Structures are given as C-alpha cells and as structure tokens.
Amino acid sequence: MSFIVIFSGETRFDSGNFNSVKPKSTWGLLKPHFQELISNYVYPQLSFTAAKQESWQNDPIEFVRTSVDEYETFDNPVSASTTFLFSLASNRTKTTFLPTLHFIQQVLQAKPAAHQRYGALNMAAALGPFMMRHPDVKGEMQQFLLSHVFPEFTAPEPYMRSIACEMLGTAIK
C-alpha cells in the first residue's frame, strides 16, 4: 500500500504503486475524497513551482533531466502524484477518469497563470495514454489540442512550450 504521511509539517511520500485504490476496503475510504486529493494534492504537485522555475533558469538541461528522473524515482511528490493518477485511471476508471478530465478542463478554461496551466497540462500528459484509448475522450482530443496545447507553443514561458511538446508527444504515441 502506498501512502502520504504528514507529521508536524514534514511530508513523506511512498509512491510504490498506490495499491490502496484497487481494494474495496481502502477505495471505500478514498472514494468520497478523490476529487479533493486531485485538486489539492496532485494538481499542486504537478504545477510549475518556484523551485522548478529556479532550476529552469539556472540550467534548463538539468531541469529536463531532473523532471524525467522525478517519474523514475518513487520517493518524491511528483512521482507519487503521477502514480496516484495512473492508479485512479487504471483501477477506478468509471468513477474517476471523466471527473479528473473535467477538473483539468475547468482549470484550462479559466485561463490561469502559466504555472497553473502547466499543472493541468502535466496532468493531461500523464493521462494521455488513457485519454487516447477512452471512447468518450479520444474523439475530443483534436479540439483539446487546438484549444489548450497548440497556443502554448507561442507562450513566452519556455516551460510552457516544453509541456506543450510533452502533451503533443503523448497524444501522437
């Protein structure tokens, strides 16, 4: 079982595989709160932070390398968040997938600041393989790309162009 533990301000992450989503016993406890977990935990972790901004400005190549490593190590919040999204999409598709996409769509339609758009597109990129297979979603991907991804190729923030490339790459795989 994977977990996120907060002790007096210190957060520890174990993103092994979020087996807590699949069993009925633990899912029953998580289900009423999954949308809050997505909006208040996953989304902020996948958004562009001040630390990421500093890393990007100091060494963009190192930023990209570190970003890839975040998905390969299992002891950080980005990996835990992504693993949680995968687990929800894989194991509780009927309940969680479309509401999660609706959350992403709501964020993007609000035209928030770049760091928030990054978080929503990062979530979409993580869910890309599921989006491309889902019968209710795959037909809407072209419009999603036109509305929310392609405009980021002209964004003044280089990290937005980077996430647009990642999202497009996910969609064409």
Q: How confident is the model at residue 150 (pLDDT cuts 50, 70, 90)?
A: very high
pTM: 0.85
Average pLDDT of the residues of the chain: 86
Neighbouring CB atoms inside 10 A of 35's CB total: 14
70 falls in which pLDDT band (50, 70, 90)? low
pLDDT score at 80: 86
The predicted structure's pLDDT at residue 78 = 86
One-letter identity of residue 92:
R
First-to-final CA distance of the chain: 31
| pLDDT tens-digit map of 80-122 | 899 899 999 999 999 999 999 999 999 999 999 999 999 999 9
User: Could you tell me how far CA 97 lies from the centroid of its own chain?
Assistant: 12
Copy the structure tokens of residue 64. Answer: 């990209």
